Amino acid sequence: MPFRSSVQIQFFLFVCLILSFNTAIENPVTLTRSWQPNGFHRHIHTSFHFDQKNCDVRLIEHLPKEVYVDMYELHSLQTRDFTLFGDAVSDSLTEIELPAHKSKEMTVQLTQMNTENDVAFHMPIHLRYQLPSSNCYAEVIIPPPQVQIKCSTDADWRIVSVEGNELRARMPVGNIQRSEFICKTVKRIC
């Protein structure tokens, strides 16, 4: 019987350890996301509701190479009469003039401090020009963000389970079938 007791104690300690390291909030939050207006310069609106108050909330956006955030623009919006968020950081410098095929993916973190139950983030984004294609349109897909929360009782950030759709947009690209005509026309003008 001592072996059985030892196994039971080890199992109990293992379960306690797993429960203490559980960093995800059990109930997922449902994200409401949209972007407006149409075109190459848009704003992503992300909002959700959760049951805890006075917590810091972090939104981590993983943007594909077809999209970028101008961090200077983001910080200038922060200093106006309204506050979009508490802080914004990016994982890299952004070359805003590069086309999509020469760009890299980008990660942006937005943080709001001492939030209420309803949280909203607004982030200006820009779509990059893409290579010409035979179908004249390219689809840009932005996956749902990661959401983290840190309340006064938390030692570290907790990951929040989210339910939400990716954002999709069709954007016009050059028609590769017309490139020969354009090249001939440009040569005549120059």
H/E run at residue 36: strand 32-36
pTM of the complete model? 0.74
Joined together, the tokens standing for residue 114 give 């001492």
Least confident piece of the model among 62-71, 90-99, 141-150, 160-169: 90-99
Least confident piece of the model among 39-43, 91-95, 137-141: 91-95
Strands 167-172 vs 158-163: parallel, antiparallel or unpaired: unpaired
Question: Is 7 strand, coil or helix?
Answer: helix
Task: Give the domains, in start order, of the chain with CATH numbers.
Answer: 33-173 (2.60.40)
Q: How far apart are CA 79 and CA 122, in angstroms?
A: 14
Q: In what side-by-side order are the strands of the sheet with 41-49?
A: 32-36, 41-49, 118-127, 67-68
Q: Which of 74, 60, 138 lies closest to 101 in space, CA to CA?
A: 138
In this structure, what are the phi and psi dihedrals at residue 180, rounded to the nearest 5 degrees? -65, -40
Q: How far apart are CA 147 and CA 9, in angstroms?
A: 35
Distances (CA, A) of 19 to 11, 128, 152, 157: 12, 44, 19, 16
Tell which wins on pLDDT, 7 or 74: 74
pLDDT tens profile 55-98: 888 899 999 999 999 888 887 776 543 444 555 667 667 888 99
Q: How far apart are CA 67 and CA 141, in angstroms?
A: 9
Mean pLDDT of 100-108: 90
